[in-house]
Structure 1
């Protein structure tokens, strides 16, 4: 059933929210940091106490954020000027005995100075633990927020939000894009996304259809996609997570087709999953998804690898199934049987950045499974910039002529062991203290070389001085150093001197 969320009803709902102060700042101010933090952990009592005697705002928080029932009179007052009868017809609220409860999830979503409202379906927890419907429209979850943080926010002309769901990615795109197109295969998702956009007065072109079908023949500056990437048998239990394709074919499809929908220099950023099999390198697997004959810079970042048992249990609970129930055990058995039959020993998950280029594409696959705080979006921009610089300095001769600087965010850690003559360094490890927090081990000569990266002398001259000082062959030293230096530049631990604005 598609909710009847007409423009008039949504406009009146916005008036009600504005009058009550039901926005990101208003909720935080009402609850306070402690109760707000407890709510985020799934502990409702502190928030319930904070909303006592809070008028319309308290009613809306209890209704939509805590999932509690409220008296009809209180709901009617909180939703005015939207008539209660229309709120019921629209499915925003539903009867529960003599009281009312939320029929849809409508909650503030704030990032920085931005505050929006997002309309989605109630998750399993707010549905009393009952499994969600097949056409369930997911709200603002961990995966969608991860993609938000991993997406570049450089100004662009056009954005495609492929598989928009409730519209979270399109909302964030509105801060830096002139035109936004959002697609989805689900009519229900498009209806809730349209309500989200109308509620926030964000202009988005909506189109219905599978994958890239609604935008055939068009190109965009940026494509973002949080696809139904769950890996498993070819079925569609839930539209928001299951593609109907087997294994990791959904992720492969998006990676393979996306570059054709990019303008020259345009980028695509998505979440993806891939299987791990005995004897197969995951890096070879995902790089093999890229379209042949098309110039694409590709950065595959693996954030996690889950074993099949943990993976199945996690997704069963996500949908509201008790793994101990009859249906939960049956689905888990089918899922694990499929993994076993297809030699799946793990499921990788991560971010993919793609850029269309006329040059020969650079493809890098790497693990990034340690914790870090900074968003990956700015790093993806800088990664592409560094790819361009390394491509322009592709020959050894060009790199040897370059002047380099050790980044301010790069620090050196040394681990020493006791010996007959005191402490002796056994490990030299470089740490990048911002962004993804890369680490690299280097030898003693590498430490000395980086100490000379002050932008004054080209790399070749520094290597010549180092070779003389340590009695090394300069050609052999250069051949060993160049791949290491390229990797340090790619990870932003060493930068071209011209980027710093001054030599040091």
Structure 2
């Protein structure tokens, strides 16, 4: 079915959604906190029960959020002033005997400032079978994690590469004056267009592969949730498969993205990379980078190949136990074995077009759980990297302080002379919760970082108490200081 939605259709649907309070706050109020939380865990029954007393809003909740079938008269009333006939003709809903089911997923999605509606295809659970190849994914965990990892600072222009249902562009419109969204899928662009028009947003939409639609253009910021699933070079589903082998899709975006940034511009993406026998993953991803690019690769997880394959088969609605599932899994795992793949890394990449001879490239694990969004930390990381580059030659003249959010944890074990400290660990209690183990001398140095004395004076005082020379202590301390600055565990005054 060709997806076409007129301005009148969008205006009438928007009026119906507003009239019934089918938005993030309205749904939460109708369901209550417990049922709403259960729905987030894919436990629909409490939401079904809570929605029965919610009138027309309850009809829309059961129709679009719970995948139920509703009486024709109830749906007609809930969608007014949009005629039910128009909703059926457009594919927004579909007939199911004498009842009506959703044809598309229309879902409230909100942030601290307000609420939107996001339109996507029904997933395999709602359809009851495998999704088609041009399936347009809803707002999943990957989308939400990129939303939380994106820097939200005012910019003039922003590109959402591979927009899908358009949710990244919705958030981008909060802080970008002009948003451009691209996708290779005509179906994705049609649903993204409906998403944008429902929410009254003017977003430039372009169709084409990768960066081709915006060749020779430049942006202040680029966000990208690419088809990063790794494996054999094939395209079963456009939302996840690139047609490139292994992690070449992530490599392509990292290689080409900086060229489309204005000087100082920032790009952020989700990415996957292979852990290959005999190769360090950090070396692998660092080779993708073009010259003059600051880069922060944050690895959030490493998946076993068997678990990885099973997860993505289920995501598409394929039972790994079925003949089709076993055949697909076998071919996928054979490819991993041939390529000596031992694991699949997944995480966030932050890039900045720095145009310097010696950019900063850091690859690190961040597999611990944390609550704070990564976006503010990514912006602060870029700021701290720029500060370190600007003050590379005068760190010893700088006065530092340890922020109040950083604590020193000691682990003592019993010894012959009583308790002995065996581990000293700095722990940052906000952001990603960075931790660094330090020795006694480093702990003493950091204890003096109160913003009163420059680093050189503190090192001189340590030589009096612990021996050695200031030059020797500086040689050992400066690499640690740079790393702690990058992680926000000490800061210049």
Give the TM bin, normalised by the shorter chain: over 0.9
1:82 aligns with 2:78: no
1:336 aligns with 2:333: yes
3-state SS of the aligned residue for 2:270? strand
Work out the CA distance in 1 between the residues paired with 2:416 and 2:238: 66
Give the equivalent residue in structure 1 for 2:348.
351
Mapped contact 1:93–1:101 kept (Cα < 8 A) = yes
Give the equivalent residue in structure 2 for 1:409.
405
Work out the CA distance in 2 between the residues paired with 1:354 and 1:488: 20
1:196-275 mapped onto 2 (5 Å cutoff): 196-275=195-274
3-state SS of the aligned residue for 1:171? helix
3-state SS of the aligned residue for 2:475? helix
Work out the CA distance in 2 between the residues paired with 1:472 and 1:300: 37
Work out the CA distance in 2 between the residues paired with 1:238 and 1:341: 23
3-state SS of the aligned residue for 1:332? helix
Q: CA deviation at 1:105?
A: 0.1
Work out the CA distance in 1 between the residues paired with 2:170 and 2:217: 21
Q: CA deviation at 1:473?
A: 2.4
Paired residue for 2:373, among 365, 372, 375?
375
Normalising by structure 1, we get a TM-score of 0.97
Give the equivalent residue in structure 2 for 1:500.
none
Provide structure 1 residue ranges, at least 5 long, that are not aligned to the other structure: 498-504
Work out the CA distance in 1 between the residues paired with 2:249 and 2:37: 35
Q: Would you say how many aligned residue pairs link Structure 1 and Structure 2?
A: 492
1:399 aligns with 2:395: yes
4+ runs of 1 displaced by more than 3 Å?
Answer: none
Paired residue for 1:438, among 434, 437, 452?
434
3-state SS of the aligned residue for 1:206? strand
Q: Report Cα offsets for 1:333-383 as digits up to 9, x if no partner.
A: 010001001111100000000000122311111110111110000001100
Q: CA deviation at 1:392?
A: 1.2
1:149 aligns with 2:148: yes
3-state SS of the aligned residue for 2:252? helix
Give the equivalent residue in structure 2 for 1:325.
322
Q: CA deviation at 1:45?
A: 1.0
Q: CA deviation at 1:44?
A: 1.0
Q: CA deviation at 1:428?
A: 0.3
Q: CA deviation at 1:4?
A: 2.3
Mapped contact 1:149–1:376 kept (Cα < 8 A) = yes
Give the equivalent residue in structure 2 for 1:97.
97
Q: Report Cα offsets for 1:167-205 as digits up to 9, x if no partner.
A: 010000010010000000000000000000000001100
Give the equivalent residue in structure 2 for 1:450.
446
Q: Report Cα offsets for 1:365-407 as digits up to 9, x if no partner.
A: 1110111110000001100110011101223xx1111110111
Work out the CA distance in 2 between the residues paired with 1:413 and 1:2: 61
Q: Which moved more, 1:398-407 or 1:189-198?
A: 398-407
**Backbone CA RMSD of aligned residues:** 0.8
Mapped contact 1:2–1:187 kept (Cα < 8 A) = no
Work out the CA distance in 1 between the residues paired with 2:240 and 2:438: 42
Give the equivalent residue in structure 2 for 1:188.
187
Paired residue for 1:303, among 295, 300, 303?
300
3-state SS of the aligned residue for 1:224? strand
Give the equivalent residue in structure 2 for 1:65.
65
Work out the CA distance in 2 between the residues paired with 1:469 and 1:48: 69
Work out the CA distance in 2 between the residues paired with 1:7 and 1:125: 31
Give the equivalent residue in structure 2 for 1:387.
385
Q: CA deviation at 1:475?
A: 1.7
3-state SS of the aligned residue for 1:373? coil
1:50 aligns with 2:50: yes
Q: CA deviation at 1:126?
A: 1.1
Q: CA deviation at 1:113?
A: 2.4
Work out the CA distance in 1 between the residues paired with 2:340 and 2:416: 52
Give the equivalent residue in structure 1 for 2:109.
109
